[in-house]
Amino acid sequence: MFSKEVYQRRRQTLLGKMRAQGQQGLILFIGNAEAPAQYKDNCYKWRQDSSWLYFFGLDEPLMAAILDIEAGSETLFADDVDIDDIIWMGPQPSVRSKADAAGVAHTAPYGGLGSAVALAVKSGRPVHFLPPSRYFNTLKLGQLLPGAKPSEALIKAVVSMRLIKEDIEIEALDHACDLGIAMHSVARDAIVPGIIEQDIVGKMEGVALAKGWGVSFPTILTQHGETLHNHLHDKVIEPGKLMVIDAGVESNEHYASDFTRTYPTTGKFTQKQREIYQIVYECNELAFSLCKPGITYREVHLATARKMLEGLAALDLVRGDLDQMVAEGIAGLFQPHGLGHNMGLDVHDMEDLGENLVGYDPDQTRARQLGLGSLRMARRLCPGHVITDEPGIYFIPALIEKFKKEGLGKDFVNYAKLESYYDFGGIRLEDDVLITADGARRLGHGRLPIAPDGVEAAMAK
């Protein structure tokens, strides 16, 4: 965890933001509890709530805290271990020393949370809380504050802070990205026709576990890249296919990385693969070149959509006026997802707080179009934003058939030629990007090979 001053400063800033919005009452934070996978003592891997980590840093189950907006006082609710716990877990630091590490003045037993919240409710004081991401917290909030809704004022205040990464967070993200690059390099070097995909997953996830907390989301490693989130790794690697690897490391400090590369399984792209790859690569580069304070990520998404259609038009897969095709959402047939998302303590940072409150400025509304409608980060870019740049082209036979049947895009899409791409798969290329004062830089030291020649050269080694 960072020094206690970091957490104290963040909580002071949060209280100031709530006061500036005219808010009163309490802010209630509930950390995560262990989540049993089968029975009570066999739990899913422990992961703390990210907003809790941001404001308190304490990486342990069953903790809560109350901040008093008017009084400015702070209380940590947690229990000291008893002899039974010591038998199974060994000696543990006291709650007092944990509170000191997070710079919190007061402590109280975890069970005291109920009466503290009830007292506030009885005196008519609002209790602000964030949307829970775990069922335990949903149930707990239901008991403490039946029928209450998460506080939009609190969500907005927290989002405004977590969206702009501090220098210590950027350092942590650079580190997570270095680990992500190391993990991807191991994966790339392990691609050989004849082995099972799972073999590579094991090797690459070993890096995440050996050097960090683990993976930042379930690894996508597939020769069916047209299925966007394909988590099956049971296929034998076949020659001549494309393999999409979308994976990241969560560091021990719990910061995420998220990279995607697409490799020819035999180390050399076919002409057809290279043509589509080149388009996706140019979209990735274009997006990065446009990233700077002032532009919206929605505009960057649309610029890459136009570039993609331009490339597809050169292959005669689409025909017509580019601007009209962009406006009609034709790119969504090939890239039915957004260009990227926020990244930080979560790989899709803060999406538990509400995708639109996190990814959209108050004057932006989310589109309904396929592709653009899935854009999770549309905001005007500011220094400190950390986003992913992940264009992709996918040939999804069921989607193409649906478009064709419904007459969608019939004035633009060359459905006859598209049929020869039904067994192509998909390509996605993803980097993690920090917006700086005058532009952007890619996170991590060094970059995974991405230009088609660079990929082939790396695979030849």
Binding stretches for Mn ion (CB under 5 A) = 258, 388
**Binding partner selected for residue 262 from Mn ion, ligand GLY, none, CB under the kind-specific 5 to 8 Å limit:** none
Burial class (CB in 10 A: 0-12, 13-18, 19+), 461: exposed
Instruction: Measure the CA–CA gap between 452 and 231, rounded to whole angstroms.
Output: 25
Angle at 209 between CA 203 and CA 210, to 5 degrees: 85
Nearest approach in angstroms of CB 246 to Mn ion is 7
Token look-up 């799972």 returns 198
The dihedral over CA atoms of 354, 358, 363, 366, expressed in degrees to the nearest 10, equals -60
Nearest approach in angstroms of CB 259 to Mn ion is 8
Nearest approach in angstroms of CB 248 to Mn ion is 8
Nearest approach in angstroms of CB 300 to ligand GLY is 16
Q: Are 361 and 431 in contact (CB under 8 A)?
A: no
Nearer to ligand GLY, 1 or 399 (CB): 399
Indicate whether 205 belongs to the interface with ligand GLY (CB under 6 A). Answer: no
Residue ranges with strand state E in 32-143 = 64-68, 74-77, 106-108, 127-129
**Binding partner selected for residue 51 from Mn ion, ligand GLY, none, CB under the kind-specific 5 to 8 Å limit:** none
Nearest approach in angstroms of CB 35 to ligand GLY is 22
Out of 174, 258, 346, 431, the residue judged to bind ligand GLY by CB under 6 A: 258
Nearest approach in angstroms of CB 258 to Mn ion is 4
**Binding partner selected for residue 110 from ligand GLY, Mn ion, none, CB under the kind-specific 5 to 8 Å limit:** none
**How many chain residues touch ligand GLY (CB under 6 A)?**
4
Nearer to Mn ion, 258 or 355 (CB): 258
Instruction: Measure the CA–CA gap between 63 and 165, rounded to whole angstroms.
Output: 25
Nearer to Mn ion, 342 or 388 (CB): 388
**Binding partner selected for residue 346 from Mn ion, ligand GLY, none, CB under the kind-specific 5 to 8 Å limit:** none
**Binding partner selected for residue 355 from ligand GLY, Mn ion, none, CB under the kind-specific 5 to 8 Å limit:** none
Instruction: Measure the CA–CA gap between 417 and 188, rounded to whole angstroms.
Output: 31
Nearest approach in angstroms of CB 393 to ligand GLY is 16
Nearest approach in angstroms of CB 432 to Mn ion is 8
Instruction: Measure the CA–CA gap between 397 and 344, rounded to whole angstroms.
Output: 34
Nearest approach in angstroms of CB 373 to Mn ion is 17
> Which SS3 state, helix, strand or coil, does residue 16 take?
helix
Token look-up 């039904």 returns 422
Nearer to ligand GLY, 98 or 341 (CB): 341
**218-247 residues near ligand GLY, rule: CB under 6 A:** 246
Nearer to ligand GLY, 78 or 429 (CB): 429
* Helix segments in 270-381, DSSP class H: 271-290, 297-314, 322-327, 331-334, 355-359
**Binding partner selected for residue 253 from Mn ion, ligand GLY, none, CB under the kind-specific 5 to 8 Å limit:** none
Q: Are 251 and 347 in contact (CB under 8 A)?
A: no
Nearer to Mn ion, 259 or 403 (CB): 259
How would you write 205-237 as a 3-class SS string?
HHHHHHHCCEECCCCEEECCCCCCCCCCCCCEC
Sign of the Cα torsion 118, 124, 130, 133 reads positive
Nearest approach in angstroms of CB 27 to ligand GLY is 30
Nearer to Mn ion, 32 or 388 (CB): 388
Nearest approach in angstroms of CB 340 to ligand GLY is 8
Indicate whether 432 belongs to the interface with ligand GLY (CB under 6 A). Answer: no
Burial 155-166 (b: 16+ CB within 10 A, else e): bbbbbebbbebe
Which of 243, 287, 248, 213 lies closest to 442, judged by CA?
Answer: 287
Indicate whether 217 belongs to the interface with ligand GLY (CB under 6 A). Answer: yes
**285-344 residues near ligand GLY, rule: CB under 6 A:** 341
Q: Are 410 and 244 in contact (CB under 8 A)?
A: no
Nearer to ligand GLY, 217 or 422 (CB): 217
Indicate whether 250 belongs to the interface with ligand GLY (CB under 6 A). Answer: no
Nearer to Mn ion, 258 or 285 (CB): 258
Nearer to Mn ion, 229 or 410 (CB): 229
Any residues with CB less than 8 A from the CB of 228 and at least 6 apart, and which?
Answer: 336, 337, 392, 394, 426
**Binding partner selected for residue 217 from ligand GLY, Mn ion, none, CB under the kind-specific 5 to 8 Å limit:** ligand GLY
Token look-up 């299925």 returns 227
Residue 71 has what DSSP assignment? Answer: T
Nearer to ligand GLY, 268 or 379 (CB): 379
Residues that bind ligand GLY (CB under 6 A): 217, 246, 258, 341
